[in-house]
Amino acid sequence: MPVVRRATAPDVDAMAAQLIRTFFDDPVILHIFRNEARRTEGLRRYFSTQMRADYLPFGGCYTTDGYEGAAIWAPAGKPLLTGVKAVTTQLAVLPFVATHLATTLRMLNLIESLHPHEPHWYLATLGTAQEVQGQGVGSALMRPVLEHCDVEGLPAYLESSKERNVPFYRRHGFEVVKEVPLPGGGPKIWTMWREPRPAA
């Protein structure tokens, strides 16, 4: 099993590179970053911005020494990135979604509206390198936060962009809340919720 550790700023570029490869053909990513020739750069800017601006400062990013995977969590109580700061941090991504910006904004607003209001940990992104999928890397990446949730009595929440990943999350205690089609003829996502497990 890989050794999972909390990520720091010097890890961001390598983590983003791995996530680009993992998510390059993800259904939701294809719906947002439609220009294949520009998708790699768009994803690099998206994942880098996501970590540096909105998750890394709160200690919610995890990886392994070989960058076989990445888990990006928002802890319970983390303030939402809103207003001018939210717009500014996404300017780097704007050129890659400008041709269908209205649909992208509707999708993001829909996903945000589905988020539960009670305190919880939010798994924004989980990705493992394709060559190690099915070898326990994803489980190892989630373990630190899920164990923390169980100790603190906190739930967790995520959106799965692939139906085939739903059983994987179920094994870790998540259950489907809703199956949601995305705007603009987009794919479905599955919102999932996990209640904390009692101590053994």
Which of the four pLDDT bands, split at 50, 70 and 90, describes residue 180? very high
Question: In this structure, is residue 199 part of a structural domain?
Answer: no
| Over residues 144-171, mean pLDDT | 96
76-124 per-position pLDDT tens digit: 887 665 444 555 567 788 888 888 888 888 888 888 889 898 999 999 9
3-state secondary structure of 174: strand
Residue 32 is assigned to a structural domain of this protein: yes
CATH number at residue 121: 3.40.630.30
Would you say residue 149 lies in a domain?
A: yes
Q: CA nearest 62: which of 19, 10, 4, 122?
A: 4
Examine residue 131 and state whether it is found in any structural domain, yes or no. yes
Residue 52, domain member (yes or no): yes
**pLDDT tens per residue, range 69-81:** 999 999 988 766 5
The mean pLDDT of the chain is 90
Residue 159: pLDDT band (50, 70, 90) is very high
Q: Evaluate whether residue 200 is within a structural domain.
A: no
Residue 25 pLDDT > 50: yes
Q: What is the pLDDT of residue 195?
A: 97
Residue span of the structural domain in which 136 resides: 4-194
Closest-CA residue to 34 (of 130, 129, 103, 110): 103
> Which pLDDT value is given to residue 85?
52
Q: What is the pLDDT of residues 4-13, one digit of tens each?
A: 999 999 999 9
Token pair, residue 179, equals 């199956």
Q: Name the residue among 133, 189, 137, 121 with its Cα closest to residue 160.
A: 189
State mean pLDDT over 31-49.
Answer: 93
Q: For residue 51, is it within any domain?
A: yes
Number of folded domains that form the chain: 1
User: Which carries the bigger pLDDT value, residue 63 or residue 87?
Assistant: 63
Q: Is residue 156 part of a domain?
A: yes
pLDDT at 83: 45
- CA-CA distances (angstroms) from residue 20 to 14, 17, 25, 139? 10, 5, 9, 20
Which pLDDT band, with edges at 50, 70 and 90, does 61 fall under?
very high
